Amino acid sequence: MRHAFTLLLLALHTVAAAQPEVRTDLIASATALPLARTDAARDSLSLRIKEGLRALAADPASLTADLSDIPLSRVDAPDGRFRLFTWNVPNMTGGHRYEGLLLVQDGKRRQLIELRDRTADVSAPDVPELGPDRWYGALYYQVIPVKKGGKTYYTLLGWKGFNKVETRKVIEVLSFRGSTPRFGAPLFGTGKVKKQRVVFGYSFQATMTLRYESEQERIVLDHLVPARADLEGQWAFYGPDMSYDAYVWEKGHWRFVRDIDARDDRRDNKPFKAPPTAPKP
């Protein structure tokens, strides 16, 4: 028993000693990836990022350590359940591949789960529940825990470069079935058929607001419209029209509210109506 304990201490010491070197290489690889000039170089750097994160995750303190100096997208569950790292690998034709590593605290056991981007196989992204081996890849930047029926659902806001003419943003949901992560949950919309996630597409030349406002307890987003009526449904030609919508957590689902006043600090989330004398936006 004493021998086993000694080996454990030596292993932990080895991991701790290697952390500064691993961290330095990880930061360098993440910084260099978007600047690399070939797909092969980007793939190689992405692999080094993955190996570096795996090495960091071996540290028992990896769920709480300060990793703010590592230039990767990361969201931490407020309850300490997980850390989720995501990054994209742009290719020379304008497309993107997404990578993700999910570090989960499952009771006394920690596990590191690799996410595999299967965007090309998900033709209707708002419909299916997905798993780590079939993930609708994105870079997540905000997490919002909500509860329904005693279960916690982690709503994720993400950016998704799609191709050279279209960008997307995603409202995703992460939950756990036992120790298995699941992506998507029927929390959007009303009636019997609800969306598992919400995806917004718009021109790569535009920008879209998608943020959570904790004081108002709502997800605020730009309302997107096509540049012309005949371009309806072609997301590459969509952009903001200077009005805002929201999703409000209410009675176990995210309720959609059209045309809010994004300047309103109150919690009532009533649609904004301009005074009669005000010019149209």
Specify the pLDDT at position 107.
85
Specify the pLDDT at position 258.
96
Q: Which residues, other chains included, contact 210 with Cβ-Cβ below 8 Å and sequence gap of 6+?
A: 157, 169, 171, 200, 219, 220, 221, 222
Rg, Å, the chain Cα set: 21
Specify the pLDDT at position 198.
98
Tokens of 31: 């910084």
How far, CA to CA in Å, does 123 sit from each of 118, 174, 197, 231, 257?
A: 10, 20, 13, 20, 26
Average pLDDT for the chain = 88
Task: Inform me whether the pLDDT recorded for 67 exceeds 80.
Answer: yes
Is the alpha carbon torsion for 228, 219, 119, 37 positive or negative?
positive
Q: Name the residue among 92, 113, 109 with its Cα closest to residue 50.
A: 113
CA 201 to chain centre: 15
Specify the pLDDT at position 264.
52
| Contact yes or no for 131/116 (Cβ under 8 A) | no
Question: What residues does each domain of the chain span?
Answer: 1-62, 72-281
- Rounded to 5°, the CA angle 135-100-81 comes to 95
Specify the pLDDT at position 18.
53
Q: Report if pTM > 0.95.
A: no
pLDDT-derived band at 148 (thresholds 50, 70, 90) equals: very high
Cα end-to-end distance, the chain, whole Å: 73
Distance CA 24, CA 115 (A): 24
The DSSP symbol for 272 reads P
Distance CA 196, CA 180 (A): 17
Partners of 166 in the β-ladder = 203
The DSSP symbol for 61 reads T
How far, CA to CA in Å, does 154 sit from each of 60, 82, 100, 189, 266?
A: 24, 10, 16, 17, 24
